[in-house]
Amino acid sequence: MISSGHPATYAAEPRFVDLSLLVAPELPGPWPAGWPAFQINPYERIGKLSPYNSDLLIIDGNNGTQLDVPPHSIPLPDSNLPNAGILGRMYTDKVAAWQFGGEACVIDCRDLVDAGALGESALIKRDRVIAWEKAHRPLRFGDVVLFRSDYTDKYYKPWPDGHRFIAAPLEATTPGWPDPDPDCMEYLGGRKVLTLGTDSASMGPLPKLAEPTHLAGLKYGMIWTESATNLGQLPETGAFYCMIGPKHAEGLYSEGRAFAVVGAPLADQLIAASKNKTVVDLSVTLSTELPVSWPGTGVGRHRNPYLKVPIMFAANLGTYHVTHMLDANAGTHLVPPAYALPAPGFDNAQYSPEVQGWLKEYEGKFGRRGFSDVTAEKVPLAQTSGRARVVNVTHLVGTIPQAKWPASPEITVADLQKSEKAQGDLQAGDVVILHTGHTDRHFRPMPEGAACLADPLNGKSEGWPALGADAAVYLAGRGVRCVGTDAPSLGGVSPKSALFTYWALASKGVVGVEFLTGVDKIGKQAYFVFAPVKIRDCHGGPGRAIAFNIE
């Protein structure tokens, strides 16, 4: 809930359908055969030490609704391993943005649930695909073939019932999940289908066809979703489907967020943009070598750094499977209301004396600060998507005298109105994207990458242009429900000004998307989408931002 005088409102159209499983410690998301459990540690909480909430996440790519890419089964071309090839370099951070989406072609496989023997998968054959084509139309490039069995809908449950989801089939105490066999994959490859999805736990049939099926599809450059859910909410054709996830460097697979858009004209426009390859990726790459985590000022005030942790060696790939440890606000991420707003019942005396003074000043100017329990999984995908409205504020760069550092130039109401005069008034549901140019200039491997975050925070260089609280209130008044920036944060480098901005946005029900890049590639007619991983109680939200340029 958000307690404020101006609650967010949500339009009925376009209709987004969330197709992703919830990730939480008591749910059977991780692969159970030796993989680490998902963990979320609420290590930063609103109170004396901080005015913000943030979490430490431990999550690997085989968790919940997930994305597979060719290096999952194809080694690097110079590895001298079987099946090696150039597609071994098509990591999750290298997949072209257009391939994440397309027209959903839903193939009904519900009759195959529990139809296999113990520990065995009932197989989806090419004949089933051909029958679908006879009933609808031939499959083609740009389609996303979705195998619907309702397996996750039936078996993705909290422990101990969650044992049935993956572990019991692996133990051969229950039937496996339905999946295509290698010949079916060959047929789809011949149809030039490059994106698939299944609501089974894996695209690999048990017990012996998992790797052959993977190789049969991935050798064509396919990518696919595993553990989708709610596919029964989609028509058999005509919906737009998309699956995106955090941009982990050299990812063999990735946790992600699957969704669909139902209804013309938007679904048709997004399908066309994907097919025409006019989709741009606006996300920074998550890497231990890049400045993706908040370093804080001075020493000892940093948030948890982004870490890539080897967990087991994959001899068939010549590399390690890994898990990731990261702050919930690392890289391109969501800023939900509960990041800066305390939960209902919070006593403001729990703030530090300094922040209590700031709060008194804030409320004297902007009214009561709100309360919120809206974390990442509660933010509708329709709110983080909409017509892209890029506001160029690069003219503010270089306007703060060095003597006043650390400081950020303020993006004011006048800046927003100037943009409206040039581009037309902002409309309810628009996603405003602030173009500062900061990440494009300074997002580099360390130590050069210190210019992105550490140097501005510590007064060694000018801070990035930051949204002022007055401007935040103005945007909310225009009906804007999501604001993005191609800078590390919306609030800038001044702790007080930043907190005012976050309080203003969150109290009006507005969410943020921070750490974008490449926003100059967004066209005049474009649709913005950001989708965070669906993690329960997450006070940030790592994910992927993309824009569809509508021709």
Residues 6+ positions from 122 with CB-CB distance below 8 Å: 112, 113, 115, 116, 175, 176, 178
Q: Taking the CA of residue 243 as centre, how many other CA atoms within 13 Å lie in the half-sphere pointing to its CB?
A: 35
Q: Where in the chain is the domain with CATH 3.50.30.50?
A: 15-59+292-549, 66-241
| CB distance 165 to 175 below 8 Å | no
456 preceded by a cis bond (ω within 30 of 0):
no
Residues 6+ positions from 491 with CB-CB distance below 8 Å: 466, 467, 497, 498, 499, 500, 501, 502
Residue among 166, 254, 172 nearest 202 (CA): 166
Whose structure tokens read 């990442």? 376
Any bridge partners for residue 259, and if so which? Answer: 18, 242
pTM strictly above 0.75: yes
CA 492 – CA 407 distance, rounded (Å): 8
Q: Is the dihedral of CA 402, 404, 405, 410 positive or negative?
A: negative
The total number of residues shown for the chain amounts to 551
End-to-end CA distance of the chain: 38
Check: CATH 3.90.1150.10 for 15-59+292-549? no
Neighbours of 397 (CB within 10 A): 15
Beta-strand relationship, 195-198 and 143-148? parallel
Task: Give the CA distances from residue 506 to residues 80, 122, 222, 351, 503, in Å, rounded to whole numbers and listed in that order.
Answer: 53, 48, 40, 18, 5
CA 532 – CA 510 distance, rounded (Å): 16
Backbone φ and ψ for 46, nearest 5 degrees, come out as -60, 125
Instruction: Quickly name the fold that domain 66-241 has.
Output: Glucose Oxidase; domain 1 (3.50.30)
Burial class (CB in 10 A: 0-12, 13-18, 19+), 86: exposed
Task: Give the CA distances from residue 532 to residues 1, 420, 423, 493, 546, in Å, rounded to whole numbers and listed in that order.
Answer: 19, 29, 29, 25, 12
Whose structure tokens read 């005049």? 524
H helices of 163-251, in order, are: 167-171, 182-190, 210-218
pLDDT tens digit at each of 551 positions of the chain? 333 333 333 334 679 999 999 999 999 989 987 899 999 999 999 999 999 999 999 999 999 999 999 999 999 999 999 999 999 999 999 999 999 999 999 999 999 999 999 999 999 999 999 999 999 999 999 999 999 999 999 999 999 999 999 999 999 999 999 999 999 999 999 999 999 999 999 999 999 999 999 999 999 999 999 999 999 999 999 999 999 999 999 999 999 999 999 999 999 999 999 999 999 999 999 999 999 999 999 999 999 999 999 999 999 999 999 999 999 999 999 999 999 999 999 999 999 999 999 999 999 999 999 999 999 999 999 999 999 999 999 999 999 999 999 999 999 999 999 999 999 999 999 999 999 999 999 999 999 999 999 999 999 999 999 999 999 999 999 999 999 999 999 999 999 999 999 999 999 999 999 999 999 999 999 999 999 999 999 999 999 999 999 98
Q: Where are the beta strands (DSSP E) in 328-367?
A: 333-335
Q: What is the pLDDT of residues 82-134, one digit of tens each?
A: 999 999 999 999 999 999 999 999 999 999 999 999 999 999 999 999 999 99
